[in-house]
Amino acid sequence: MIYSHLNRRTFLKASLLGVLVLGSSRTGFAQYMEKQTFPSSSLSLFNTHTGEKLTTSYRTPEGDYDAEALKSINWILRCHYSNEVANMDIRVLNFLNMVDNRLGGDNEIHIISGYRSLEYNDLLRRGSDGVSKHSLHIEGKALDIVIPAVNLSTVRKTALALRQGGVGYYPETGFIHIDSGKLRTW
């Protein structure tokens, strides 16, 4: 039998070797994480309903989030109808940032819709079949955007390639929807 040469001593040596290998890999991984830097997290936003502009960096190169910058982002992405502010899902902000970075970075991103109050979402639903009753906008997990310097279909293709969440394409009304929900497209 092939396993007949395995004994207690061989097993202990193999186990010790495994622990050393795993231990050294873990140290290597920890060193890698310490040295890792995050890509640019600067966003330049323009709210098309309020006319407000914001350029901010919401994450440090080490990966820490800036609470004041996030507060400013939440304000500009508020429901323009009710002025309600929500804490936007960091994943949708990171998705937006990744799209921007893939498209060269430092683009002015026009926000058509960020957070929506339930009241405003219901108002939109009454006027259109395309607005979901359970929209991720009311959870702060969705954005409708335009990047004027970039063709709309290019923004769509870029968002789809990132595979970070939902991507909706509305060429007739001229915007892209991105969200931090399940991966899907329409």
The pLDDT value recorded for residue 29 is 45
The pLDDT value recorded for residue 131 is 82
Phi, psi of 77 (to 5 degrees): -95, 10
Q: Is the CB of residue 103 less than 8 Å from the CB of residue 150?
A: yes
The pLDDT value recorded for residue 33 is 44
The pLDDT value recorded for residue 154 is 98
- Which residues make Cβ contacts (< 8 Å) with residue 50, sequence separation at least 6? 76, 80
Q: Identify the segments of the chain with pLDDT beneath 70.
A: 1-38
> Model-level pTM?
0.78
The pLDDT value recorded for residue 150 is 98
Nearest CA among 25, 7, 5 for reference residue 17: 25
Count of positions (residues) in the chain: 186
**DSSP calls for 41-83:** -EEEEEETTT--EEEEE-B-TTS-B-HHHHHHHHHHTS-TTT-
